[in-house]
């Protein structure tokens, strides 16, 4: 009897202990999709340094600014940028109202489904497509259309909605930084309104913390209702030097941590790393063809040359998707 | 004995009650510098409506965006915009290095201290002064210079630092909104970097929540140190229609409350008020020459014509500084 009683008490204690320990165990590893290794250690060590009050590297909460590139850093960017997939779909959908497109490039090729031929026209062709699909409507109409597409359209390889082609380890990193008082921003070459259409739900990043490229807007009255019309004219190109300029214009403070994956992020990482005190500059290196894609030097999308050289020379963190991440996409 | 005992117990209770009631009393009036009247009641009623969960007008916290004009809405803008006072001081300070200014307008007049004559050249003269005083240096140098001036220079009438020429009732309003889950933004025609130099300390508004006019920036390397150079070229003019465009570009969400004082704020209030659900559009009316200034229709600075007509027609809140505010500047 006594033995049985002790057993019961022990079992009860063990149960309570398990319940209590469970959240503790989770708290002990906020980055479960990151394998233990130099990259994860560098991230955790950096966060520990800047959050420890009373030490020289301590950074007050309002100055804990972290900026993230989007395509290829937070979500998949191959085989084409998702925003382009959206634009090409729009061309097909709008084709009925544009009979002239049948004989006009790049539209004719896009209607035929030949993206490569359409893109042979280079930047000019792209600007034409963006003007035809991203302008001539109000900001509210565009937002509705983009949200609908992002929620329903599935990509060919992973067979899931684009808004779920985000990297699980980066979601954990975003949460980990926010839990440590960081304000997380997206600083992307992509269109700001396209990213905003899914960023809050997918990343927990509100629209006012999304910085991207943008076209000109016109404020006008339709009857007595004001509206913002999207014009077919480029305003901000948020890439390379442009990322640093936008960070200053919109955030007004130099980040202490920056995350990218291509040469378009070089200046943002450089600017971040050059500030005083502890800094974290990190590149995601796509080296996992089996689970995602493998590309770097010379790639048309997400090309990584100069930024990889800089990362090696300056000892920035280079994340190997293959070795550092045990999971790529969320379950 | 019994009586004395009862008295002691009563006294002890009363003491506890006083301690407990003291913070409660403060919480009961978060806007002590606002007299009871229609303006204060409209503000409090609006906040109550949008924060009451389960009602049709409830607005989730992330959508509680409030935008404030700066000059004349949050701080004094007469007899000249503070940023111009700063620029004119800079001209005098830099004059020694520019002997040619002695014979060139508008600089010659500014060196003589004749602001009216200097401004006779209109907008072109102003752009020249801003180019000479707000460009040709890094963003960090400019920030240092502006902060120093704002902390030390005193205005002629109120004999206090410009950074203390902020309106006490508006400070209370900012705090009140933030305590109710609002995110407060400045959306000003003034230079974004000038406002950021004092906004965090004076208003509790961090740099990333300040939107203003801005010049072009150039990212460049000085040796191996990156820097952002301020160029003498206007980029964003954040006034009138431009305020709505900037709100969309930077915040990406329509405000539910907007605060202004001049025709430059008309479109921002119009855009805010035209959204669905409960909205607050408010104009500060400068009608108190004794304690501050009195101006509206036809005023060169802070002119209030069309916006006042719109406010009357659309029943926006018009704050009388004379009647609605029992205090103007902080103690």
DSSP-derived secondary structure letter, B136:
S
Instruction: Check: CB of residue A114 under 8 Å from CB of residue A106.
Output: no
Flag if B219 and A245 touch (Cβ within 8 Å). Answer: yes
Among B192, B226, B245, the residue with its CB nearest the CB of A219 is B245
The residue among A292, A312, A259 whose CA lies nearest residue A73 is A259
The residue among A236, A299, A304 whose CA lies nearest residue A265 is A304
The residue among A116, A191, A205, A212 whose CA lies nearest residue A146 is A191
- The DSSP bridge pattern shows strands B280-287 and B294-295 to be antiparallel
**Distances, alpha carbon B153 to alpha carbons B147, B150, B165, B255, in Å:** 10, 6, 12, 34
A214 → chain B, closest CA residue: B249
- pLDDT, one tens digit per residue, over A305-314 is 999 999 999 9
- pLDDT, one tens digit per residue, over A260-270 is 999 999 999 99
- The DSSP bridge pattern shows strands B65-68 and B183-191 to be parallel
pLDDT band at A15 (very low <50, low <70, confident <90, very high): very low
The reported pTM is 0.92
d(CA B29, CA B44): 10
A230 → chain B, closest CA residue: B245
Contact residues, chain A to chain B, C-beta under 8 Å: 62, 65, 139, 183, 192-193, 196, 200, 206-210, 214, 217-219, 225-226, 228, 236, 241, 244-245, 248-253, 267, 270-271, 274
Low-confidence ranges of chain B (pLDDT < 70): 1-27
**Residue at token pair 């995601």:** A284
Instruction: Check: CB of residue A135 under 8 Å from CB of residue A231.
Output: yes
Q: Count of A–B CB contacts within 8 Å?
A: 83
Q: How many CB atoms lie within 10 A of CB A158?
A: 14
d(CA B37, CA A330): 54
- pLDDT, one tens digit per residue, over A109-152 is 999 999 999 989 898 999 999 999 999 999 999 999 999 999 99
Return the pLDDT at B225: 97
Residue B257 dihedral angles phi and psi, to the nearest 5°: -145, 135
Helix intervals (H) in chain B: 2-28, 38-51, 82-94, 107-112, 115-119, 122-134, 139-152, 168-179, 192-203, 241-246, 266-273, 306-314, 321-324
Burial of B42 (0-12, 13-18, 19+ CB in 10 A): middle
Return the pLDDT at A121: 87
d(CA A128, CA A137): 16
Contacts of A250 in chain B (CB under 8 A): 208, 250
- CA B108, B112, B113, B115 torsion-angle sign: negative
Q: How many CB atoms lie within 10 A of CB B90?
A: 19
Return the pLDDT at A171: 98
DSSP-derived secondary structure letter, B185:
E
**Distances, alpha carbon A135 to alpha carbons A107, A231, A327, in Å:** 16, 5, 38
DSSP-derived secondary structure letter, A255:
-
- pLDDT, one tens digit per residue, over A176-193 is 999 999 999 999 999 999
Instruction: Check: CB of residue B330 under 8 Å from CB of residue B168.
Output: yes
Contacts of B200 in chain A (CB under 8 A): 62
- The DSSP bridge pattern shows strands A183-191 and B317-320 to be unpaired
d(CA A315, CA A317): 6
- pLDDT, one tens digit per residue, over A268-286 is 999 999 999 999 999 999 9
Return the pLDDT at B27: 59
d(CA B273, CA B283): 12
**Distances, alpha carbon A19 to alpha carbons A13, A14, A16, A25, A109, in Å:** 10, 9, 5, 10, 60
Joined tokens for residue A117: 């031929």
B136: Cβ contacts below 8 Å, ≥ 6 apart: B229, B230, B232
Joined tokens for residue B52: 């009451």
Return the pLDDT at A27: 59
d(CA B41, CA A322): 60
Among B206, B235, B252, the residue with its CB nearest the CB of A192 is B252
Contacts of A62 in chain B (CB under 8 A): 200, 206
Flag if B200 and A62 touch (Cβ within 8 Å). Answer: yes
- pLDDT, one tens digit per residue, over B250-292 is 999 999 999 999 999 999 999 999 999 999 999 999 999 999 9
Cα angle for residues A142, A194, A260 (degrees, 5° grid): 170
Residue A80 dihedral angles phi and psi, to the nearest 5°: -140, 155
Q: What is the mean pLDDT of residues A319-329?
A: 98
Instruction: Check: CB of residue B136 under 8 Å from CB of residue B129.
Output: no
Instruction: Check: CB of residue A326 under 8 Å from CB of residue A167.
Output: no
The residue among A98, A84, A214, A205 whose CA lies nearest residue A149 is A84
Joined tokens for residue A289: 């063809």
Joined tokens for residue B6: 């009862």
d(CA A69, CA A189): 8
d(CA B155, CA B289): 17
Residue A9 has pLDDT above 60, yes or no: no
Interface residue of B248, B256, B264, B274 to substitute, partner A, most A CBs within 10 Å: B248
Joined tokens for residue A243: 């990322």
pLDDT band at A88 (very low <50, low <70, confident <90, very high): very high
Contacts of B182 in chain A (CB under 8 A): none
Three-state secondary structure call for residue B106: coil
Three-state secondary structure call for residue A282: strand
Contacts of B273 in chain A (CB under 8 A): none
Residue B104 dihedral angles phi and psi, to the nearest 5°: -125, 125
Residue A317 has pLDDT above 70, yes or no: yes
Flag if B251 and A193 touch (Cβ within 8 Å). Answer: no
Return the pLDDT at A28: 81
Mean confidence (pLDDT) of chain A: 93
Three-state secondary structure call for residue A171: helix
């Amino acid at each position: 009897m006594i033995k049985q009683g002790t057993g019961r008490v022990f079992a009860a204690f063990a149960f309570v202990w398990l319940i209590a320990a469970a959240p503790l165990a989770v708290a002990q590893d906020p980055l479960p999709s990151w394998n233990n290794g130099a990259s994860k250690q560098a991230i955790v060590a950096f966060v520990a340094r800047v959050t420890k009050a009373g030490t020289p590297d301590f950074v007050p909460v309002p100055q804990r600014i972290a900026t993230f590139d989007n395509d290829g850093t937070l979500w998949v960017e191959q085989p084409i940028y998702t925003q382009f997939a959206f634009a090409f779909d729009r061309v097909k959908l709008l084709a009925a109202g544009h009979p002239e497109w049948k004989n006009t490039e790049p539209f004719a090729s896009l209607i035929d489904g030949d993206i490569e031929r359409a893109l042979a026209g280079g930047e000019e062709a792209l600007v034409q497509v963006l003007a035809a699909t991203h302008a001539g409507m109000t900001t509210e109409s565009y937002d509705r259309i983009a949200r609908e597409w992002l929620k329903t359209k599935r990509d060919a390889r992973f067979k899931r909605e684009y808004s779920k082609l985000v990297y699980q380890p980066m979601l954990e990193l975003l949460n980990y930084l926010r839990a440590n008082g960081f304000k997380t921003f997206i600083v992307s070459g992509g269109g700001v309104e396209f990213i905003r259409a899914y960023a809050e739900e997918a990343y927990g990043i509100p629209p006012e913390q999304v910085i991207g490229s943008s076209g000109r807007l016109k404020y006008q009255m339709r009857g007595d209702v004001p509206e913002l019309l999207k014009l077919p004219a480029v305003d901000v190109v948020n890439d390379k030097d442009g990322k640093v300029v936008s960070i200053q214009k919109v955030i007004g403070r130099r980040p202490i941590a920056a995350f990218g994956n291509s040469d378009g992020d070089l200046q943002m990482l450089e600017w971040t790393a050059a500030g005083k005190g502890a800094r974290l500059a990190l590149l995601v290196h796509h080296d996992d063809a089996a689970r995602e894609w493998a590309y770097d030097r010379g790639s048309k999308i997400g090309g990584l040359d100069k930024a990889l050289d800089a990362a090696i020379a300056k000892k920035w963190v280079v994340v190997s998707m293959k070795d550092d991440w045990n999971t790529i996409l969320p379950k």
